[in-house]
Structure 1
Amino acid sequence: MPTHDYTTRILWTGNRGEGTAHYKAYDRTWDIAVPGKAPVHCSNDPLLGGDPAKMNPEDLLLSALSACHMLWYLHYASDAGIVVTSYSDSPIGVGEVGRGGAGRFVKVTLRPHVGVQAGTDLAKAEAIHHRIHEVCFIARSVNFPVDYAPVFEVSG
């Protein structure tokens, strides 16, 4: 099977001058720097002392899963002759924290709101969502269930 390489650069930006001399001496911030792209400023989850105004790893995973699903949905809809006029998603990821503070996602529900043209076969449009997990790079890589709760809006 052909392979693809992906690369990124993570640069810790949280050294306040003491490095990690003690637990409260440093910020949990970093930048994602992919060559040729704008940097993304990130922080730890606010529950763990992070900056709530910055993306955290959990936000990024949930966003990547949702975006991958959307891109495959648009592709399959186009192939099926379904004209999508808008698409947004507000996914919900459920996490749990175990002993010692270790956490993990236990499930994600994608909740896409899909605008389609009048006359669209909504059952066919809905069925597409359930095929995507077979091909989405991100969905195939996670070890928790991903559910779908799409809503369709028909425009004239």
Structure 2
Amino acid sequence: MTFLSEITDYKNTIMNRVLEDQELCKAIFYTDQGFLEQENIEDTSDLIHKNIFPHRFIPNISEDAKTYITLSMTNYRLVKSSYKSGLIAIYMFTHRDLFKTDYGYSRMDFILTKIEELMNNKRGLGIGKLEFAGLNEYVVNEKFQGYVLSYQPMDFN
């Protein structure tokens, strides 16, 4: 295996965790304020390359009211020649018309909480538990805003 071969595995693990959470998928897919009351999404994998991307950019982002999750792997480096460390950044953002929900919290706060539950202090990405590395607001443009949530995995070299 190459030095950075696990990056694809990390991305797939993150996307699979997201796709396994039906409530999170509803928040991403449905555009109405009562998204949790909508039907379950039969095949959540249909969200890949439509709403969920294994890279930071979105090809041809439209002005349509949609919600997105994108991934970025940055700052990977060797630590004392034995371990490698980097940052996993999960970008989550939505059209400003979709922020309001029927639940007393914003769509982005709901998605942020769900992602955090799926990731923080969980195993399966690197050795040990995934470590929280930061949260920042994320502004794509005047119509799309959200958060970027970062975690630091450690792995053997």
Fold similarity call, TM over 0.5:
no
Report the structure, 1 or 2, having the larger strand content.
2
Q: Which has the higher contact order (CA 8 A, sep 6+)?
A: 2
**TM-score (norm. length: structure 2):** 0.42
With normalisation by structure 1, the TM-score equals 0.42
